[in-house]
Amino acid sequence: MLSQTIQDAMNNQIRDEFFAAHLYLSMAAYFEDINLSGCAKWMAVQSEEEREHAMRFFNYINERGGRVKLQAIAEPVTEFSSPLEVFQKALEHEKRVTASINAIYDLAVKENDYASQVMLNWFVDEQVEEERNASDVVALFERAGSSQHVWLMIDRQLGERKDED
């Protein structure tokens, strides 16, 4: 059985993961609006991953005899000044998620909740990948500057992202 403290933290994480899904979908909509469909696809795939992350927590709480309590999701930002800004915001968001996962892991350690620690290890590894992916794209757009020709090359590359299975 999950402690109330860990259960509450995981319920908050479910909310945050669903928010992330909305945020990335909002970013996808922005990219569609400025005709960067490859970037839009990258963000749509990212959005789906975030929904899957929320469901991992959802299922885990249920498996451990806890109670999932869904919470309201904040409205995501919808306007951006450039593709670089979008990916910078995505990277900032992933860093916040990393901090949140680490905080839940710290709770699990303090409470000697070994099962939760094992489950959270997957998220710790996942966040390393998430931050690296966003950071790599930020670096591409930083090097591109305002060159829309280079943006199109980046867009094509990002459009090749495969849906995760």
DSSP code for 4: H
CB 23 within 8 Å of CB 130 = no
The model's pTM is 0.94
- Which strand (E) or helix (H) includes residue 160? none
Q: Which of 161, 16, 163 is nearest to 93 (CA)?
A: 16
- pLDDT at position 7 is 98
Separation CA 85–CA 13 (nearest Å): 25
Give the pLDDT confidence score for residue 164 in this predicted structure: 61
- Of the CA atoms within 13 Å of residue 163, those in its CB half-sphere come to 4
pLDDT (tens, 9 = 90+) of the chain, 165 residues, equals 899 999 999 999 999 999 999 999 999 999 999 999 999 999 999 999 999 999 999 999 999 999 999 999 999 999 999 999 999 999 999 999 999 999 999 999 999 999 999 999 999 999 999 999 999 999 999 999 988 899 999 999 999 988 764
Residue 97 · residue 16 · CB < 8 Å: yes
Instruction: Please give the domain boundaries of the chain with CATH numbers for all domains.
Output: 4-158 (1.20.1260.10)
Q: What is the per-residue pLDDT for 4?
A: 98
Helix/strand/coil for 82: coil
